[in-house]
Chains A and B, each alone.
Chain A
Amino acid sequence: MNAATAAVGRIETVELRIPRKAEWVAVARLAVAAVANRLAFSVEDIEDLKLAIAEACTNCIRHTNGNASIDIVCEAEPDLLRLIVRDHCFDLPPQRPRAVGEPAGDAGGLGIFIIESLMDHVAFEPTANGPTELVMTKRVGA
């Protein structure tokens, strides 16, 4: 784990790089929970953040090959937490999200759907190197 914080204006950043292996997803969950706990998130919101980051990491593990790492950046502002997940797994078009309450016939696409349900804002943004990164934002008390 390579964690560092740097104050940029009112944004504090924590970075984490984990191996692209299933056994490391729990570490990402715990790290994000620890960061969220520094802000005024409720216990329920912290659980949402843990699930969202786990789904993003799981998506990377499921849809990429090789031994690449998963980079996670947590940008903490006083009233929000932004989670950025970078890998080469998000350059596929996101699957159509289900409407809330629409039954899931199978597990396919559930991860992204859960992320979009739990977070306030979700975006797939291109990077300078080509692959897309997943940016998820949750506001305190939203």
Chain B
Amino acid sequence: MDIKVQVRESEDDAYVVELSGEIDVYTSPKVKDAITELIDQGHYNLVINLEKVRYIDSTGLGVLIGGLKRVREHGGSVNLVCTNPQIRKIFDITGLVKIFGIFENEQDAKKALV
């Protein structure tokens, strides 16, 4: 079980956080650190790509919610890329689809950033 975190700069001052693997109580601190570091550096428009994430639990959701709260304080936004139906289902049942912008591909997610 592992999580890989790759951060890359995109056009229009956006940053993409690409995650691969499983996000749970053990691995989520690594995700949190990556997001926190970006925000601390002043990057408030983020796309978090979950296409290669096989599993996420409430701990992972908490990290995403925490990141969203922080960037919104600076007028920023977090959009997600999610194509895995099982993961999308977790966002649906928790109501987080109303809080996050969730897109089928990275290009659309970046376009929709405020």
Chain A hits for B22, CB < 8 A: 26
- Specify the main secondary structure of chain B where it touches its partner: helix
- Indicate which residue in A22, A29, A104 contacts B65 across the interface (CB closer than 8 Å): A104
A103 CB-CB contact with B under 8 Å: yes
A98 to B94, CA, bound (A): 8
A110 to B63, CA, bound (A): 12
- Indicate which residue in A29, A98, A103 contacts B99 across the interface (CB closer than 8 Å): A103
Are the C-beta atoms of B24 and A26 separated by less than 8 Å? yes
Known: A50-B55, A110-B58, A110-B62. A103 touches B25 (CB 8 A): no
Known: A51-B90, A58-B25. A107 touches B57 (CB 8 A): no
- Specify the main secondary structure of chain A where it touches its partner: helix
Chain A hits for B59, CB < 8 A: 58, 107
How many residues belonging to B are interface residues under a CB distance threshold of 8 Å? 22
A62 to B90, CA, bound (A): 20
Are the C-beta atoms of A114 and B94 separated by less than 8 Å? yes
**Chain A interface size range:** 20 to 34
Chain A hits for B65, CB < 8 A: 104-107
A25 to B62, CA, bound (A): 17
A117 CB-CB contact with B under 8 Å: yes
Are the C-beta atoms of A103 and B98 separated by less than 8 Å? yes
Please give the residue numbers on chain B whose beta carbons come within 8 Å of chain A beta carbons, in ascending order. Answer: 1, 22, 24-26, 55, 57-59, 61-62, 65-66, 69, 86, 90, 93-96, 98-99
